[in-house]
Amino acid sequence: MNNSSERIAVIVGGASGIGWASAQALASEGCRVTIADRNADGARERVAELGPAHTAHAVDVTDEDSVARLFDAVGPLDIAVNCAGFSNVGLITDMPAEDFRAVIDVCLNGAFIVTKHAGRHLRRGGSLVQISSLNGRQPAVGMSAYCAAKAGLSMLTQVAALEMGPRGIRVNAVAPGFVHTPLTAAAASVPGVVEDYVGNTALGRAGTPEDIASAVVYLCSPGTSWMTGEVLDLNGGAHLLRYPDVMGHVMKLMEPSS
């Protein structure tokens, strides 16, 4: 990115996975980065790796006061990236309502709260990037909460783009397929899951956090100054094929051995 030496960036969920890769990528482009994460110690450790120009901040995206404090502390900014999220697995007829709400609270309500407060501080020409998911467009048995949240996030992204466009602020999302991160580690540990994902990806491999970070940098660059309201599929072509049977692999693992 050109002229990014004075750009201020906040990465929510920046202590690991896609968030950490995005923080590194933006810092390498000359941005001054605040890594915000529920894992405050992890955020501080990551900032120590980036160097003294960068800062760490504790944040809980389900707590609006916490998010407001984060953005008030940073002040005017140019880039906000929201990577906070988690998932669970369970059939709708078996899932406790509180488990469904927990995912919605982080992945959709939390995204709303981040969008609200980032939007109050982003300067003209600023960019807000949400990390969505292939599950925003592909349903998966046993993943009702995550699929619903990410589908909602796609529409939230587009509405925010409409509302913030007159201020010169762009709002986009990246929708990854399977990427090896701490978020996907539990699923990846189930035999057959990774193979099923890769087998249903046109390019025949899982993604890396760096793949997604490159797209984040692109969406925050002058090269996308006329792009807003976009949900960018970045999944190696997985959206062209079927979604893996994650629940089936989980149920098979739980079968009693003979």
Residues classed as catalytic = 146
What is the H or E stretch that residue 116 is in? helix 110-121
Among left, alpha and beta (phi > 0; psi -120 to 50; other), residue 242 is beta
Could you tell me if 147 and 175 are in contact, meaning their C-beta atoms sit under 8 angstroms apart?
no
Structure tokens at 82: 């929201």
Neighbours of 100 (CB within 10 A): 18
SS3 sequence of 157-180 = HHHHHHHHHHHCCEEEEEEECCEC
Inter-residue contact 219 to 25 (CB < 8 Å) = no
